């Protein structure tokens, strides 16, 4: 099966045109390191380090759709 995200040699397609696994890994590490340095100097407004992220929720309110809300079934 052909992977549409990989080149024939298995390297992920990328905007840098790199076709070697090791060169791509090194470039990804360099880009990530540079971006982390930028974020350390100037955090983005919505992700400022002094603001806690909102809690994760599943979108279901407590007490709603609980098993007690469902009508009971009896086997026939």
Residue 68 within any structural domain of the chain: no
Residue 73 within any structural domain of the chain: no
- Is 3 within 8 Å of 12 (Cβ atoms)? no
**Beta strands, E only, the chain:** none
Residue 58 within any structural domain of the chain: no
User: Mind listing the pLDDT tens digit for each residue in 15-34?
Assistant: 999 999 999 999 999 999 99
pLDDT above 60: residue 72: no
Question: Which residues are bridge partners to 6 per DSSP?
Answer: 12
pLDDT above 70: residue 74: no
Percent over 90 (pLDDT), the chain: 47
Range of the domain at 37: 1-44
* Long-range CB contacts for residues 27-33, cutoff 8 Å, separation at least 24: none
Residue 15 within any structural domain of the chain: yes
Average pLDDT, the chain: 77
Tokens standing for 33?
A: 């390191």
Our count of domains for the chain comes to: 1
What sign has the CA pseudo-torsion 45, 51, 54, 56? positive
* pLDDT at res. 47: 56
């Amino acid at each position: 099966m052909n992977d549409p995200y990989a080149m024939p040699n298995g390297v992920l397609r990328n905007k840098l045109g790199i076709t070697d696994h090791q060169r791509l890994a090194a470039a990804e590490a360099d880009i990530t390191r540079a971006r982390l340095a930028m974020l350390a100097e100037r955090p983005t407004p919505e992700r400022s380090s002094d603001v806690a992220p909102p809690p994760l929720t599943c979108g279901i309110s407590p007490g709603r759709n609980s098993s007690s809300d469902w009508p009971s079934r009896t086997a026939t």
